Structure 1
Amino acid sequence: MIKLKFLPARFGDCIWIEYGDGEDRNRILIDGGTAGTRHDIKEMIESLPEEDRYFELMVVTHIDKDHIAGILGLLEENDLGFKVRDFWYNGFKHLTEVEEVVDENDEDFGAKQGEHLTQAILKHEISWNGDFNNKAVVVDSDILPKITLPGGMQLTLLSPTPVLLKDLKPKWVKEVTKANMVPGGPPIVEEEEEEDETFGEAIPDINALAQTSFHEDHSEANGSSIAFLATFNAKSILFCGDAFPSQLVKTLNIIEPDRKIDIDLMKVSHHASSHNTSPELLEKIKCSNYIISTNGSTFKHPKADTISRIIKTSGAGTQLLFNYKSSTNEIWGLNSLKNAHNYDAIYPETGIDGIEIVL
């Protein structure tokens, strides 16, 4: 059994995963949404028996605030109230690790743990990238790191590479310095806002939108995103974070060079932005279930071209799953569209519950 809950994480990601056999449950938490999501996470933790408040793994995929802020708030409390076997997160010191040429100021940066998440991890003495010998969580060769968690869940790392982490460092230093902080931990970075794509009463032309030109994301923060393929009990889930599609295609081709990879569920990268789900990525996988995590505020995700590509590439029987019903995604629930293109759109019953998926 794998049970996934995509929490109502505002315009971000927060994924609570349980896997196991019968009463024996293991847990993973991927990202923490925006700051307010902390309360939802804490409520779920406190609903567990005290002896069961344990995570095999927590992951902060990258430093954008819609992924980091909720977990940061949780870890800044004096008493965590839970335990973590290992915490995956590439902090500033990991960007320095992968530099080919060491900047003369790196010693100062590395000596000061100026940012809050790094401080909190150290304060609570949480194992930090222990599965990677406390070094950066990266794909550094054609042999993809594979981590088997207690309970049998296997995670195959797909992103980032050392080069993608290195690309983030100048932006990290700039943002932290601008905020009068010392580089040494993650700034809470605002994403660049994409242009709004509004339709009013117009119905999206799925065929035409699916054929529009694709231009890949170039945000350094998104490029540094941790992404992996999770497998358990013959089920596979692609957790994309906000990763670049070209990197995902490259590493998926290492796993299966000559054929599509069967996926039971894909967490669509970057909330279905226009620039993170390429035609090549969709052609590489065989998948019918796509989950999009966002309330549509701020950046007006999901984008119509991405949803159209998913519908046309995946074909009949495609399911679009959303953790909110919003003004930016409700149009995909129109019967006229669903009937014409033979897909389904599934929304939560309320706007405060998120959506739960059992595989």
Structure 2
Amino acid sequence: MKIKFLKASNGDAIYINLLDKNDQPRNILVDGGREATYFDRVRRNGPLKRVIDDIKYRKENIDLLILSHIDNDHIEGFLKWFEQDKKAPDFIKEVWFNSGEAIARYLKKPKNDDLDLFLADGSNVLTGVDEGIEFQKYLEKHNLDRDGIIKAGLEWEGFGLKVNILTPTHKQLENLLEHYQEKTGDIKYTAAGNDWHKNLSDIISEEKNPSFRFRQDRSEKNGSSITLLISYRNKKVLLLADSHPSEVCAALKDFGHSKENAVKVEFMQVSHHGSKANNNKELFELVDTQNYIISTNSSGHGHPHKSVIARIVSKNPKATIYSNYETVANNLLTEQDKADFPQLQVKLISKFQI
């Protein structure tokens, strides 16, 4: 199985290619990244388009497309693809997406209009499509909508994979439906700078102070992320999208994992591009791995935060941090970090093979 982390600006776009039990090729897409991940404004093909074109060239299908949640940095690439490729539905076999409409049906509560996703309405900056078709309506139109929702506790098997869904929980779906309100003037991730000048040792000392309190992300959208523990040929990987750590930790504990019996994975995709509000110390204690993957170019909110790297290295001073952007891989550590943690590595990655 090859897992490729596409350059998706400050978003996520993951391509999984594998052979099933009958040695037939299978293709899975998890999130679509920013618009330019498919096609940028100077009319250049992005990495998502190149992957899709290659799948078409091989006369294969996208066997499963997963949209983890509705943030722009995860959906824009898909919307741009649907806009430009009218034949896209012809080779998408299954879609996992928790639409506002599906959540309302599941909870038997009124629909939240703020959860409608539009391909475009003429003024939408995401795409230039003239039609105002909701994402879910698009799926329904092409018979790609799923009966039911994807939530914690679901176990799915197919293509030689076993997938355990860790989040969202019932409560997180309820929160999304009842409390989410679209903010006017959607944040377009203007540069906020990063904190990479800080030394890991200083951060570790600060967080050992009894006054330190971890503050978890409060975004209903991020909390609704579909997170995946994928098993393939006796090996596992963990994809966390923008999830909240408390619920991921609770799910891992439900599987019997603990600090002494952590889940062993080939790698974990660090939640929310390495945000300090989405990765607590307990999460890293419940996961046994050498490899931590962070997908972002660091534009916008300056992800990854150095406190996340500090929490990783506190658990595993020999960790390898992988980034899909050179600017992160080359600049994340200070000279003091390299002296204090000589076995810690930060590397550039495009794909991971297991």
Instruction: State TM-score, norm by structure 2.
Output: 0.82
Cα-to-partner distance string for 1:169-216 (whole Å, 9 max, x where unaligned): 2455x429x69xxxxxxxxx648989754355x544353255453211
Q: CA deviation at 1:124?
A: 2.6
- Which residue of the partner structure matches residue 62 of structure 1? 69
- Which residue of the partner structure matches residue 352 of structure 1? none
RMSD of aligned C-alpha atoms?
A: 3.0
- Which residue of the partner structure matches residue 123 of structure 1? 141
Question: Which amino acid in 2 is paired with 1:137?
Answer: I
- Which residue of the partner structure matches residue 357 of structure 1? 352
Q: CA deviation at 1:18?
A: 1.0
- Which residue of the partner structure matches residue 135 of structure 1? 148
2:75 is equivalent to residue 74 of structure 1: no
Question: Which amino acid in 2 is paired with 1:309?
Answer: R
- Which residue of the partner structure matches residue 351 of structure 1? none
Percent identical: 26
Instruction: Write the distance in 1 (CA, Å) between the matches of 2:107 and 2:100.
Output: 11
For 1:171-182, list aligned pairs within 5 A.
Answer: 172=180, 174-175=181-182
Say which of 153, 164, 170 aligns to 2:161: 153
- Which residue of the partner structure matches residue 232 of structure 2? 232
Stretch moving more, 214-223 or 334-343 = 334-343
- Which residue of the partner structure matches residue 37 of structure 1? 37
Instruction: Write the distance in 2 (CA, Å) between the matches of 1:14 and 1:192.
Output: 17
The answer as to whether partners of 1:98 and 1:165 remain within 8 angstroms in 2 is: no
2:352 is equivalent to residue 345 of structure 1: no
Q: CA deviation at 1:238?
A: 0.6
Q: CA deviation at 1:80?
A: 1.4
The answer as to whether partners of 2:322 and 2:329 remain within 8 angstroms in 1 is: no
The answer as to whether partners of 2:276 and 2:305 remain within 8 angstroms in 1 is: yes
Instruction: Write the distance in 2 (CA, Å) between the matches of 1:110 and 1:4.
Output: 30
5+ residue gaps in structure 1?
180-188, 349-354
Instruction: Write the distance in 2 (CA, Å) between the matches of 1:199 and 1:322.
Output: 14
Q: CA deviation at 1:336?
A: 5.2
The answer as to whether partners of 1:32 and 1:67 remain within 8 angstroms in 2 is: yes
User: Which SS does the other structure have where 1:155 is aligned?
Assistant: strand
The answer as to whether partners of 1:64 and 1:190 remain within 8 angstroms in 2 is: no
2:17 is equivalent to residue 18 of structure 1: yes
Cα-to-partner distance string for 1:205-248 (whole Å, 9 max, x where unaligned): 35325545321111000011100100101111111011110110
2:290 is equivalent to residue 325 of structure 1: no
Check 1:191–1:279 CA distance in 2 against 1; reply closer, same or farther (3 A cut). Answer: farther
Instruction: Write the distance in 1 (CA, Å) between the matches of 2:345 and 2:115.
Output: 50
Instruction: Write the distance in 1 (CA, Å) between the matches of 2:291 and 2:116.
Output: 45
Instruction: Write the distance in 1 (CA, Å) between the matches of 2:220 and 2:266.
Output: 29
- Which residue of the partner structure matches residue 4 of structure 1? 3
5+ residue gaps in structure 2?
40-46, 119-131
Cα-to-partner distance string for 1:63-83 (whole Å, 9 max, x where unaligned): 000001101221233221751
Instruction: Write the distance in 1 (CA, Å) between the matches of 2:187 and 2:61.
Output: 31
- Which residue of the partner structure matches residue 302 of structure 1? 304
Q: CA deviation at 1:329?
A: 5.3
Check 1:206–1:343 CA distance in 2 against 1; reply closer, same or farther (3 A cut). Answer: farther
Question: Which amino acid in 2 is paired with 1:163?
Answer: K
Instruction: Write the distance in 2 (CA, Å) between the matches of 1:87 and 1:272.
Output: 26
The answer as to whether partners of 1:27 and 1:57 remain within 8 angstroms in 2 is: yes
- Which residue of the partner structure matches residue 243 of structure 1? 243
Check 1:292–1:253 CA distance in 2 against 1; reply closer, same or farther (3 A cut). Answer: same
Question: Which amino acid in 2 is paired with 1:53?
Answer: E
The answer as to whether partners of 2:117 and 2:135 remain within 8 angstroms in 1 is: no
